[in-house]
Amino acid sequence: MSQRHAEAPACISMGGTANLFTLTEKSGIGAMTGAIDGAAYGEPTSDPADVGDGRYEYTMYHVFLDKDGSRLRTHDQAVLHTPTDDGFSTLEVEYSVVEATGRFAGYGGVFRSRGWVSTPKGDDALQGHAVGVVRFEGEICRE
């Protein structure tokens, strides 16, 4: 009886979702399902730059942790579209993989997310916690 070894795929689809919760003005966590079944931690690495039309651009980093112990670390470009009358902001992030371990070892590339966040209103909004949900898409491939 011959033993088969599963060959690692050339690319991994990064589809999934995350429920977000800010911890502080500068950090947040997300419970993830999909390609990554676990959690994520993120922080901005630059101040938001007002680029007009209620849009703010900034850089971030994330650490994605899968329940199997695999990890991705990314450097990111984010765009926040400030709230309209409904009180929600949209958030778009492009994640560039800079480190990969476990089942992600040897993979790199870029994937994206888009979703919404809701922040408290009023003078204490920055001290309040934002919540939201984002959907991931794209793929990372063997380098």
CA dihedral (40, 90, 49, 42) in degrees, to 10, reads -10
Residue ranges making up the domain that contains 38: 14-120+130-138
Determine, yes or no, domain membership for 1: no
Determine, yes or no, domain membership for 45: yes
The SS3 call for residue 104 is helix
Tell me what pLDDT residue 121 has.
Answer: 62
Q: Write out pLDDT tens, residues 46-93.
A: 999 999 988 999 999 999 999 999 999 999 999 999 876 777 889 999
Determine, yes or no, domain membership for 86: yes
Tell me what pLDDT residue 87 has.
Answer: 73
Determine, yes or no, domain membership for 7: no
The SS3 call for residue 102 is helix
Q: Write out pLDDT tens, residues 3-50.
A: 555 678 999 999 999 999 988 878 999 999 999 999 999 999 999 999
Determine, yes or no, domain membership for 4: no
Determine, yes or no, domain membership for 94: yes
Determine, yes or no, domain membership for 125: no
Evaluate if residue 122 carries a pLDDT over 70.
Answer: no
Top-confidence residue, 116 or 119: 116
Q: Write out pLDDT tens, residues 85-100.
A: 777 889 999 999 999 9
Give the count of domains, the chain. 1
Tell me what pLDDT residue 118 has.
Answer: 86
The span from the CA of 20 to the CA of 112, in Å, is 15
Determine, yes or no, domain membership for 2: no
CA distances from 138 to 12, 22, 107 (A): 9, 24, 13
